[in-house]
Structure 1
Amino acid sequence: MTRGARFKVALIGASGLLGRAVANELAAATQWQVVRTAFRHGDVNTVTLDIRDEGAVRAFISEQVPDAIVVAAAERRPDVCENDPALARALNVDALRFIASAAKDIGSWVLSISTDYVFDGTRPPYRPDDAPNPLNAYGRSKLDGEQALLRSGAQACVLRLPLLYGPVIDWGESAVTSLTPAIVESARGETPAMMDAWATRYPTFTPDVAVVIRQLLMRHEIGESVNGVTHWSGDEPMTKFDIAQTIARVLNIDARITAQHKPVDATPRPRNCHLASDVLEDLKIGQRTPFEAAIRAVMQNWPRPTTSL
């Protein structure tokens, strides 16, 4: 970065669940120049960009010349990836290769978001150097994307994250908030909500992740970049059954929730992919909001999201 120049960040995927949290954090806590992109929701403050279009990606990065690029755009729905592996590869692998190549050309650092689903969930907790073994197309595509980035020669960091939740514009944006309609309906009728009590997840609040990303960017700005693979995770083990009970308590409704103790998803999912976060913790990076406090803040907007209850 030129002496005296303003640090510039390209935030790719700024309209999504995590991207919005990162955009808000950087606007509130830094004086950086942040250029945001979105696939469909471009506006006067956001560049419309289809990351599947290599020419458009290269043009955007060469025109903007950011010091750092945060890639929060992806296809993250396991069932969609399983049914449309070509789409998963286009968004999670090929697009990252385009971004990495263009970033290498200008010397930009890339921070890309990956997932705990690169692991099979049989031997937690997982450290960054543990061998991946994804069980589904989503995990495989994200692992392939990691490898495409790290083998590109660009300065890069892969930040693996678990189940995310945060302020939503639609209940379906997160597998946490997507449980809400069934929870509410169970309190209205006679049919209980069946909730998975088999898989253990570590729900992680997007505003907390945004702080982690800001801190990683700050280290890059001062020449102390974290490169390679690293992990961040919430620290409360919860099944969807546990999550649903907490949501019902926060909403103060008498929900009827039944535990499902065997996996029922059509797409295979790992049982417990707890990510060890000690590498970032040792660098004094991180923030964790207790789940009940965070989901209470999210639910204060209930039923504002567009999915009707």
Structure 2
Amino acid sequence: MFKVAVIGASGLLGRAVVRELAAATPWQVVPTAFRHGGPQQTVLDVRDAQAVNAFVECEAPDAIVLAAAERRPDICEHDPAAARALNVDAVRSIATAARQRGAWVLSISTDYVFDGTQAPYRAGDTPNPLNAYGHSKLEGERALIEASDNALVLRLPLLYGPIVGWHESAVTSLVPAIIASAQPGAQAAPMDAWATRYPTFTPDVAFVIRELLLRCADGEPVRGVAQWSGDEPMTKHDIAVQLAQALGVEARLLAQPTPTDATPRPRDCHLDSGRLEALGMGRRTPFDVAIRAVLDAFMQNPQNGEPNA
């Protein structure tokens, strides 16, 4: 039976991948988590090369989906060594172990490898990251390709999906400020109206990853670099407006026309998804539909937050 290891299965994207594979395939799925594994999760610190080697040797997966990373730009900026340990060194260790096993590896990267000045970006366009996060993810891409010739970098933009806490996504993390702004006498919540993002639903990404794994299982793995993105351009202010509508609150929002983040961020890194679309892959759930499912599920059950969307 085809066997898939999902590394970082307790995170926003990892959970969606495990959920998709469990629902739609007969494969054996081995999920891992850092420190606190669930009843069916293996605890694995991907920064420990010996532990990674032992895990891959023991489980002998046919494919590995690497969804573990340091994704917070501000954290990467303040502690680039810690970011490198997760985003570069761990990728290299996993790719090396996978090569010895003969396993295909899919590693998640980001639109932040680009500087945001010449969107849309094709997979083969020259990267030029603006911050430590983007630099670490670009180095991780190169580490993957150098360590294995049977691997795929999958670049993704801003993700949102079923959550276990508002903080899990830069989309849902806006909710507390939106709700607070609707209280009597509250000040308007400032929201960036400068940078354009393309929010992408994690169950849609999981669907794409399952399609990629199907090709791998059929002996036709996709290698190199590919990209997937939602197709609705939105600023943080646009996202906040839709969140307020979905929440049913009269939010007071203040559009900020210039960047205010301490860590530099690109203005528009729209990823061209043409390579995967040409292979007949992909699914895009409209933002308004998806975000209502996410919010409804979390508000009804904050301990779970997993909608059926």
TM over 0.5: yes
1:34 alignment partner, one of 29, 50, 54:
29
Give, in whole Å, the separation in 1 of the partners of 2:93 and 2:149.
11
TM-score relative to the length of structure 1:
0.96
Match 1:186 to one of 177, 181, 186:
181
Question: Which among 4, 7, 10 is matched to residue 2 of structure 2?
Answer: 7
CA separation in 2, counterparts of 1:299 and 1:100?
36
- 2:152 is matched with which residue? 157
Structure 1 contact 171–305 (Cα < 8 Å) conserved: no
Q: Contact conserved, 1:107 with 1:154, CA < 8 A, in 2?
A: no
The counterpart of 2:282, out of the listed 275, 286, 297, is 286
> Percent identity over the alignment?
66
Describe the superposition over 1:29-79 as per-residue Cα deviations: whole angstroms up to 9, x where unpaired. Answer: 000000010002213200000000010000000111100000000000000
C-alpha offsets along residues 113-145 of structure 1, whole Å, 9 cap, x if unaligned? 000000000000000000000000000000000
One-letter code of the match for 1:175? A
Choose from 255, 258, 262 the match for 1:259. Answer: 255
Q: Which amino acid aligns with 2:150?
A: Q
105, 128, 150: which is aligned to 1:110?
A: 105
Which portions of structure 1, spanning 4 or more consecutive aligned residues, are displaced by more than 3 angstroms? 302-306
Shift of 1:302: 4.2
1:88-167 equivalences in 2 (<5 Å): 88-167=83-162
Partner of 1:243: 239
Give the alignment's Cα RMSD to 1 decimal. 0.9
Residues 128-178 of structure 1, C-alpha deviations (whole Å, 9 max, x = no match): 000000000000000000000001134100000000000110101100000
Residues 168, 298 of structure 1: 8 Å contact kept: yes
Q: Where in structure 1 are there 5+ consecutive unaligned residues? A: 1-5
Partner residue, 2:225: 229
Equivalent of 2:264 in 247, 263, 268: 268
Q: Which residue of 2 aligns with 1:177?
A: 172
Conserved 8 A contact 1:100-1:154: no
- The whole-number CA distance in structure 1 between the counterparts of 2:275 and 2:166 is 33
**CA distance, structure 1, for counterparts of residue 240 and residue 81 of structure 2:** 33
**Native 8 Å contact 2:163 2:298 kept in 1:** no
Please say if 1:208 is aligned against 2:167: no
Distance in structure 2 (CA, Å) of the matches to 1:268 and 1:43: 36
TM-score (norm: length of structure 2):
0.96
| Inter-partner Cα distance in structure 2 for 1:62 and 1:297 | 39
Contact 1:113 1:160 (C-alpha < 8 Å) held by counterparts: yes
Contact kept in structure 2, 1:17 and 1:166, CA below 8 Å? yes
Q: Does the CA-based 8 Å contact 2:164-2:298 persist in structure 1?
A: no
